[in-house]
Structure 1
Amino acid sequence: MNRRTLIKNVIGFAALMALPLAALAATPLALGKNFQQIRPAQPGESAGKIEVIEFFSYACPHCFEFEGKISAWSRTLPKDVVFKRVPISFNRESWAIMGKVYLSLEAMGLTDRLNTSVFSALHNERINLTDETIRNGWLKKNGVDVARFNDTFRSFAIASHMQRATQLAATYKIDGVPTMVIGGKFQTSPAMNDSFDATLSVADQLIAKARATRGK
């Protein structure tokens, strides 16, 4: 085999090996499989931004598994994207309590520091944070002003935010968590894809799709 033939064969083999990856990258997302389209599309609350909402619950074990990946992913989002979490209760009292715990910590600016700890307390340490006495002890141990937290937790503002979260979940017809809504137009979830990583890859593509169809 001469040198020219060898080079030609090597280039041909490399192209053949690269083909599946290129084909995969070019494969469009499948509506109904990887994502759902939201009709009618819903307006966001952040003017000029693409909103990405994660509907979740501290009480959900799958949300706990997703937490590390989606938190890291959210920190890499472009400047025109806003990431939000919305707690959901599915009319379960314990989930509603944990939703108000999230909203209270968010109002106090503590979610970045304590989100993972709350998940771990519930799913690893089996601490019943729906019990106020137990929760107060856990909050104090984690350096939270308990009196301020309780005032926030019991406030009209948090009750209103939880009601708004419930209404939003109904608007988007959320029937399982974690579920992601992108730009008020698209919905995806780990249940629709092969893994948490695949879900975030789909979300990236849906963000690009929402950007391309902005105003349409």
Structure 2
Amino acid sequence: MPFREVGFRLADSRKVLCFFAFTCPVCAAYHASVAQWGETLPPGWKLEFVPVTLPQRDTVIAARAYFAALKADPAKIYDFVGSAYTQIQQEGMKQDDPRTWATAARMARIRQFEESWEKISTSAVKKSYEDLIAYQVSATPSLAIGGRYVITPDDTNGDRDLFFRLAAAMVSKSM
């Protein structure tokens, strides 16, 4: 099967969770396409990006930065993510360096990033870790669809068009 089925999570039954890592070049290549595809979801469905969070300092800091940017200015989150990919993957900045996130926020023109950073609770970061475990995510990007199915570009041998057709089919199957 070109997907995995995991234990059903009712809270996510009308969501698509996209697990991504700032260090993943495939995530960077797919991020805008996933966001654009998410705009085509049926009414009542929504796409949420979830940073991969492991019990490692760098991924916890990256997740906290993502949630801080989202809280500070949701309209600029895609600019922030794009800038973060650039800072980490092209400029060689580290996920556990506060300058990485300050630069990404500045380039995305997000104001009050630092204030939002202070307001991010550990529960937000912990939830992203719990979601990662619940959906048994082992590759990025991964889409968890309808609280039940998980797919990755690996499931379509990297064929982007087929990946998005599969994602749409899995949303339909979830309905």
Q: TM-score range by the shorter chain?
A: 0.7 to 0.9
SS in 1 for 2:10: coil
The alignment covers a number of residue pairs equal to 172
After TM superposition, which residue ranges in structure 1, 4 or more long, deviate above 6 angstroms? none
Match of 2:84 among 85, 101, 118: 118
SS in 1 for 2:49: strand
Name which structure has the greater RCO, CA cutoff 8 Å, separation 6+. Answer: 2
- After superposition, the C-alpha distances for 1:144-180 in whole angstroms (9 at most, x for unaligned) are 32xx32232233x432100111111111221221111
Q: Is the counterpart of residue 192 in structure 1 residue 155 in structure 2?
A: yes
Shift of 1:138: 4.7
Normalising to structure 2: TM-score of the pair?
0.86
Q: How does 1:36-55 map to 2 (within 5 A)?
A: 36-39=4-7, 41-44=8-11, 50-55=14-19
The corresponding residue for 1:71 is: 35
Q: Is the counterpart of residue 164 in structure 1 residue 127 in structure 2?
A: yes
Structure 2 CA distance for partners of 1:208 and 1:149, relative to 1, 3 Å = same
Normalising to structure 1: TM-score of the pair?
0.71
SS in 2 for 1:58: coil
User: What is the root-mean-square deviation in Å for CA atoms of aligned residues?
Assistant: 2.1
The corresponding residue for 1:127 is: 93
Residues 56 and 87, structure 1, Cα contact 8 Å, conserved in 2 = yes
Q: How does 1:1-216 map to 2 (within 5 A)?
A: 31=1, 34-39=2-7, 41-44=8-11, 50-108=14-72, 109=74, 110-128=76-94, 130-145=96-111, 148-155=112-119, 157-195=120-158, 196-211=160-175
Structure 2 CA distance for partners of 1:194 and 1:143, relative to 1, 3 Å = same
Shift of 1:90: 2.8
- After superposition, the C-alpha distances for 1:27-77 in whole angstroms (9 at most, x for unaligned) are xxxx3xx101123x11125xxx72111011222222112112212211222
Residues 104 and 158, structure 1, Cα contact 8 Å, conserved in 2 = no
Q: Which sections of structure 1, spanning at least 5 residues, go unmatched?
A: 1-30, 212-216
Q: Percent identity?
A: 17
**For residues 47 and 142 of structure 2, what CA distance do their matches in structure 1 show?**
13
**For residues 26 and 164 of structure 2, what CA distance do their matches in structure 1 show?**
15
- After superposition, the C-alpha distances for 1:83-136 in whole angstroms (9 at most, x for unaligned) are 111111233321221111111111122313322222222223333453224543
SS in 1 for 2:93: coil
**Residue identity matched to 1:203:** A
**For residues 104 and 78 of structure 2, what CA distance do their matches in structure 1 show?**
17
**For residues 98 and 163 of structure 2, what CA distance do their matches in structure 1 show?**
35
Rg: which structure is higher? Answer: 1
SS in 2 for 1:154: helix
Shift of 1:141: 4.5
